[in-house]
């Protein structure tokens, strides 16, 4: 019996053990149990300290250093009461993952015992080694000092493991020279930039009460789950997160029976555990369902402030990975883990809101009459059109190159879908004041036992990379593995730029001059309507039409990244204080290096599997055929296998040559160009040869678990 056979037998006999505390949890208020949230702050902080801290968290006042020791004492007492022994500053360096260094609360005393210590300095600032994180040239390897700085707006939480509890402090991460080395700090800066300009616009409309405008996010997270015992037999899944080889399964997603289908017991057990863990961490997980591809699923949270929601999405991914292992599953977050079926994205539902609860992208009942909504809407339209190249660059990644434009995800062309109602309003606005708007009406179902449903005036467009969905925009093009900080940083900054231009124009008008406002908005429509598209973004005709409109179509990461090195990009980010020229340049260098490193890892892994697993299996099968009876059928099959083995060896040689050519380049961008032009096509040719062998080599000899097993055995 092969390892594949043993794994499948184990899966077949697997039964889900019920969670013992499920009913207890269902009746308990577990939400936020592991979070130093408002109720915990009230309990562990003196009232004056609590009130000052809340003013900072709510964005009304800068943090007061005078209260830091009192806050540190309160949060330490809370953590110790929950069994914490260590604390850590948790941050998001430019690796695409999170980082943390744990320190114990315990300090030895001269009497041979220990005491729990945690000062204000421990809370506010940490000093992890900065030498081994990507810096893009900001820090030399021998320059090790870096600082983590407490982000007061993001809740402190507990990491609760079977063997201990760690108090976790979300932070930003800066170099010794004060330059951002992480994803968090630029996002916070971009939020302040957008908020400042949005308040200027609101003041013109007579809003004198709102003190802060911030962005909100609700990231839908797609992912795959496969049986861990099978996945661990595939070096490609372990090392790259995707299958570099694999012939199509006889059944894929053709029958469309996976989407929203009944959730299997084993998967539902994982999802239930996930929900409970996320609720304890104060993460508002709400939706769970099967996605389109077999083995693919999705979860979605309720909206939160973008900086908190971005932190929470990182926690979601790490929690999924940890719980999957506990359920003998492997969590796959790559944008395209399996060829021939849908890949995974992250749909970022984004809007702008005031601190007194107003959603600035809510059109109300009559969008044609809602001048403020139209002003903010058109600012977003202008921002996406002016900075489409930067938005495309913000989602560029090696994994995305396998997904974008594959008739399952938005293409690389940035466009906006508004829906029929708003499209009609915008068409009127181009010529003058909008006089009317289409109404939704009702959907008559023709069955007396079913209620009449209210009909939305605007449909959804799943092919659009940036679609308006009622009171928010859905940035659908973000990759499933991506930290969402960077795409949202770019989007916030692009919209801040548009809001500033709008606010500058409004400064020349008397407040209440809606005729003047209409002229300004009409001008924005005329100058930027080319980015609006209501049709099928997958259609080849759209590529032709987009080119006619002058919209950029940067199909690969290598095509997209140069936009970040332009004078326009440097001016935009520096003008709003989001990134200095040096900080932006460092990110460009890191993105290039990451693309090349991922390409090299994948190519090396493919060569290793082809040489040491696939080729020996194919040769062994050829030997068995040679010793079989000299029938015509065996001879024909042997000849076919021999030809495919020759093709495989030739493909291995071609990929090795392409890899050497890439290594010989004198710059990282030049190396990346060879990766996309030569290495990836050579790797695909190797896959084609290997997959052809999978279709003829004896199943008993094939060394890798197949798609039919990975996607349907769980």
Cβ–Cβ < 8 Å for 437, 421 = yes
Structure confidence at residue 23 (pLDDT): 41
Cα distance between residue 702 and residue 416, in whole Å:
47
DSSP code at position 249: P
DSSP for 266-292? HHHHHHHHHHHHHHHTT--EEEEEE-S
Strand partners for 353:
214, 359
DSSP 3-state assignment of 172? Answer: strand
- Report the predicted TM-score, pTM, of the whole model to 2 decimal places: 0.92
The tens digit of pLDDT for each residue in 361-399 reads: 988 776 666 889 889 999 999 999 999 999 999 999 999
Count the Cβ atoms, other than its own, within 10 Å of residue 604: 15
Strands 466-468 and 329-332: unpaired
- Catalogue all structural domains in the chain, each as residue range(s) with its CATH number: 32-182 (3.10.20.70), 190-441+459-579 (3.30.590.10), 595-710 (1.20.120.1560)
Residues 247-252 have a mean pLDDT of 89
Q: Is 84 helix (H, G, I), strand (E, B) or coil?
A: strand
Write the CB contacts of 352 (distance below 8 Å, at least 6 apart in sequence). Answer: 194, 198, 213, 214, 215, 216, 359, 360, 361, 376, 495
439 has a pLDDT exceeding 70? no
Assign residue 176 a region: left if phi > 0, alpha if psi is -120 to 50, beta otherwise? alpha
Q: What is the pLDDT of residues 69-89, one digit of tens each?
A: 999 999 999 999 999 999 999
**Long-range CB contacts for residues 354-360, cutoff 8 Å, separation at least 24:** 354/202, 354/207, 354/210, 354/212, 354/213, 355/58, 355/59, 355/60, 355/210, 355/211, 355/212, 355/213, 355/214, 356/209, 356/210, 358/210, 359/216, 359/471, 359/472, 360/198, 360/213
3-state secondary structure of 522: helix
Q: What is the mean pLDDT of the chain?
A: 89
- Model confidence at 219: pLDDT above 90: yes
pLDDT at 430: 78
62: CB partners within 8 A, 6+ apart: 56
Residue range 144-161, pLDDT digits in tens? 678 889 999 999 999 998
Q: Helix, strand, or coil here: 410?
A: coil
* Nearest CA among 14, 72, 17, 85 for reference residue 41: 72
Number of H helices, E strands in the chain: 25, 19
134-147: pLDDT as tens digits = 777 777 666 667 88
Please report, to the nearest 10 degrees, the dihedral formed by the alpha carbons of residues 351, 355, 360, 365 taken in order.
120
Torsions phi, psi for 289 (to 5 deg): -170, 165
Q: Convert the pLDDT of each residue in 475-529 to its tens digit.
A: 999 999 999 999 999 999 999 999 999 999 999 999 888 888 889 999 999 999 9
Residue pair 462/298 in contact by the 8 Å Cβ criterion: no
pLDDT interval class at 110 (50, 70, 90):
low
Q: CA torsion sign, 561 to 397 to 253 to 261?
A: negative
Closest CA to 220 of 490, 462, 393: 462
Which of 17, 35, 23, 22 has its CA nearest to residue 279?
35
In angstroms, the CA 245 to CA 618 distance is 14
The residue to which tokens 């000899």 are assigned: 701
pLDDT in tens, 57-70: 888 888 888 999 99
440/242 Cα distance (integer angstroms): 43
Nearest-angstrom CA–CA distance, 463 and 448: 35
């Amino acid at each position: 019996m092969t390892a594949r056979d043993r794994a499948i037998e184990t899966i077949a006999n697997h039964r889900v053990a019920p969670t013992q505390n499920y009913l207890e949890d269902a009746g308990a208020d577990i939400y936020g149990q592991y979070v130093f949230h408002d109720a915990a702050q009230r309990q562990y902080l003196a009232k004056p300290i609590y009130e000052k801290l809340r003013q900072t968290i709510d964005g009304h006042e800068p943090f007061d250093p005078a209260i830091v020791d009192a806050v540190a004492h309160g949060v330490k007492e809370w953590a110790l009461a929950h069994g914490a022994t260590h604390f850590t500053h948790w941050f998001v360096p430019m690796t695409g993952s999170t980082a943390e260094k744990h320190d114990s609360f315990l300090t030895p005393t001269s009497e041979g015992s220990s005491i729990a210590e945690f000062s204000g300095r421990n809370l506010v600032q940490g000093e992890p080694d900065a030498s081994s994180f990507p810096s893009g040239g900001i820090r030399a390897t021998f320059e090790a000092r870096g600082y983590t700085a407490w982000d007061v707006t993001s809740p402190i939480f507990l990491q609760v493991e079977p063997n201990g509890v760690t108090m976790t402090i979300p932070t930003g991460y800066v170099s010794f020279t004060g330059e951002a080395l992480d994803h968090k700090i630029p996002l916070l800066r971009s939020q302040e930039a957008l908020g400042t300009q949005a308040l200027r616009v609101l003041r013109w409309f007579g809003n004198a009460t709102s003190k802060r405008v911030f962005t909100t996010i609700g990231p839908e997270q797609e992912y795959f789950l496969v049986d861990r015992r099978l996945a661990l037999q595939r070096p490609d899944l372990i090392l790259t997160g995707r299958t570099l080889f694999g012939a199509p399964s006889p059944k894929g997603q053709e029958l469309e029976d996976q989407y929203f289908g009944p959730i299997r017991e084993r998967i539902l057990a994982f999802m239930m555990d996930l929900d409970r863990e996320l609720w304890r961490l104060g993460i508002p997980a709400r939706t769970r369902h099967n996605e389109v591809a077999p083995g693919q699923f999705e979860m979605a949270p309720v909206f939160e402030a973008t900086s908190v929601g971005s932190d929470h999405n990182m926690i979601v991914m790490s929690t999924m990975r940890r719980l999957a292992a506990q359920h003998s599953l492997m969590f796959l977050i790559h944008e395209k883990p399996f060829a021939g079926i849908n890949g995974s994205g992250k749909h970022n539902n984004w809007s702008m809101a005031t601190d007194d609860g107003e959603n600035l992208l809510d059109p109300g009942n009559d969008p044609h009459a809602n001048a403020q909504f139209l002003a903010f809407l058109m600012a977003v339209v202008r921002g996406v059109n002016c900075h489409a190249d930067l938005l495309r660059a913000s989602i560029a990644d090696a994994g995305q190159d396998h997904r974008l434009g594959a008739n399952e995800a938005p293409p690389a062309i940035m466009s906006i879908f508004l829906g029929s109602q708003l499209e009609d309003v915008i068409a009127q606005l181009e010529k003058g004041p909008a006089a009317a708007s289409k109404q939704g009406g009702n959907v008559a179902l023709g069955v007396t036992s079913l209620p009449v449903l209210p009909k939305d005036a605007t449909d959804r467009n799943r092919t659009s990379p940036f679609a308006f969905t009622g009171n928010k925009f859905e940035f659908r093009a973000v990759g499933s593995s991506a930290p969402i900080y960077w795409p949202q940083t770019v989007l916030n900054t692009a919209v801040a730029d548009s809001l500033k231009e709008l606010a500058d124009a409004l400064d020349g008008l008397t407040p209440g001059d809606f005729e003047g406002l209409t002229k300004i908005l009409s001008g924005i429509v005329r100058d930027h309507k080319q980015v609006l598209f209501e049709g099928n973004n997958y259609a080849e005709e759209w590529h032709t039409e987009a080119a006619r409109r002058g919209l950029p179509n940067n199909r690969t990461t290598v095509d997209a990244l140069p936009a970040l090195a332009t004078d326009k990009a440097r001016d935009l980010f520096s003008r709003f204080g989001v990134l200095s020229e040096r900080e932006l340049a460092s990110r460009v260098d890191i993105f290039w290096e990451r693309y090349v490193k991922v390409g090299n890892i994948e190519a090396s892994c493919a060569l290793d599997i082809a040489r040491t697993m696939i080729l020996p299996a194919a040769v062994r099968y050829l030997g068995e055929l040679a010793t079989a009876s000299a029938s015509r059928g065996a001879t024909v099959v042997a000849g076919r296998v021999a030809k495919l083995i020759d093709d495989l060896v030739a493909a291995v040689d071609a990929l090795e040559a392409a890899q050497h050519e890439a290594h010989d380049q004198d710059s990282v961008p030049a190396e990346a160009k060879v990766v996309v032009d030569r290495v990836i096509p050579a790797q695909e040719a190797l896959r084609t040869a290997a997959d052809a062998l999978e279709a003829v080599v004896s199943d008993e000899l094939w060394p890798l678990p197949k798609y039919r097993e990975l996607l349907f055995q769980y």
